[in-house]
């Protein structure tokens, strides 16, 4: 062994002896803590790097919206909203927003002299809807059981009279419907179909995943309403076809909508505007939020 190697070995031995001496003079608690840290460091493996992640993976879709925004239109001293009723092809019925009642109703097929020449739309033809159901007495929500003779099935009868002289009568029914959307064309209830419809047009309707107009079909639900069989007074000559009940009672449109689960919160809001001229084709005059 050379002289340099001997010197180097002595230095290593001296350093080892100094470390052992330091360990011996440490308090017992510190030595135990240092030993535990060393053992934990030995047992801990560095995190493995995920090499399977795809940097070009499609990001997750945005969360479903839980508030619907719809347009309000101006009538003759009133504001109304579009309802699209029935399936597979929804039929439009325009309805006055009424915060003083829980009843939603509009003229149905068979209504005699019910003002179709004044209204924006013809009568709702429930025979064309695969999801329409006339309610029996066991399913009445706001109506009363009506029992007639002659073998006619009992049904739920609705009716309302107003101080200025208008009135209407109806039977209670249920069908799938949604509020808002396009003013003159129904949007598909199924999201994929709505995107196909949007893509087949001129391309000016916007993105179906974010446009509240094209998303209206996602808020469709089974709604109990009144199928009007007769009406008088201003209900005959008004611009809108019927009425939408938006009171605090259980039969109100927004309350039924919330119970169906398509909106998260049991709230709604109205923002009114007023235009100098009202057109039968639709005069935009505000907005309504649901949820």
Token pair 């199928």 in the structure block, residue: 227
The whole-number pLDDT of residue 193 equals: 43
35: helix, strand or coil:
helix
The whole-number pLDDT of residue 184 equals: 93
113: helix, strand or coil:
coil
**If you ran DSSP here, which 8-state letter would residue 139 be given?**
G
Backbone φ, ψ for residue 140 (5° rounding): -60, 135
**CA 223 – CA 250 distance, rounded (Å):** 12
Chain centre distance of CA 230? 33
CB contact at 8 A, 97 and 270: yes
**Angle at CA of residue 255, ends 85 and 194, nearest 5°:** 40
The whole-number pLDDT of residue 52 equals: 45
Q: pLDDT 10s per residue in the chain (291 long)? A: 565 664 566 666 655 554 454 445 445 555 555 566 655 555 545 544 444 444 455 655 444 557 899 999 999 999 999 999 999 999 999 999 999 999 999 999 999 999 999 999 999 999 999 999 999 999 999 999 998 877 778 999 999 998 888 999 999 999 999 999 999 999 877 534 434 444 433 344 455 557 778 889 999 999 999 999 999 999 999 999 999 999 999 999 999 999 999 999 999 999 999 999 999 999 999 999 999
The whole-number pLDDT of residue 181 equals: 94
Neighbours of 68 (CB within 10 A): 23
Q: Are strands 91-98 and 242-245 parallel, antiparallel or unpaired?
A: parallel
Residue ranges of E strands in the chain: 68-74, 79-85, 91-98, 105-107, 133-134, 144-146, 155-161, 167-179, 221-232, 242-245, 268-272, 284-290
């Amino acid at each position: 062994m050379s002289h340099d190697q001997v010197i180097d070995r002595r230095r290593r031995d001296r350093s080892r002896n100094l470390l052992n001496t330091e360990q011996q003079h440490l308090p017992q608690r510190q030595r135990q803590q240092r030993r535990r840290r060393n053992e934990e460091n030995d047992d801990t493996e560095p995190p493995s790097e995920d090499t399977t992640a795809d940097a070009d993976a499609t990001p997750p879709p945005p969360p479903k919206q839980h508030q619907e925004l719809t347009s309000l239109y101006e009538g003759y001293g009133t504001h109304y909203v579009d309802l699209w009723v029935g399936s597979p092809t929804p039929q439009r019925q325009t309805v006055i927003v009424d915060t003083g009642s829980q009843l939603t109703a509009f003229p149905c097929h068979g209504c005699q002299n019910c003002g179709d020449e004044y209204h924006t739309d013809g009568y709702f033809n429930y025979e064309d809807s695969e999801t329409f159901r006339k309610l029996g007495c066991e399913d009445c929500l706001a109506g009363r059981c009506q029992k007639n003779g002659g073998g006619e099935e009992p049904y739920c009868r609705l009716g309302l009279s107003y101080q200025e002289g208008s009135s209407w009568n109806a039977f209670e029914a249920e069908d799938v419907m949604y509020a808002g959307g396009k003013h003159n064309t129904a949007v598909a209830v199924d999201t994929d179909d709505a995107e196909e419809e949007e893509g087949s047009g001129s391309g000016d309707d916007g993105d179906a995943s974010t446009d509240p107009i094209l998303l209206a079909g996602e808020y469709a639900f089974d709604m109990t309403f009144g199928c009007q069989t007769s009406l008088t007074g201003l209900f005959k000559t008004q611009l809108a076809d019927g009425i939408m009940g938006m009171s605090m009672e259980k039969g109100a449109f927004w309350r039924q909508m919330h119970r169906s689960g398509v909106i998260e919160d049991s709230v709604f809001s109205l923002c009114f505007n007023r235009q100098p001229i009202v057109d039968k084709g639709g005069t935009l005059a505000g907005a309504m939020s649901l949820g």
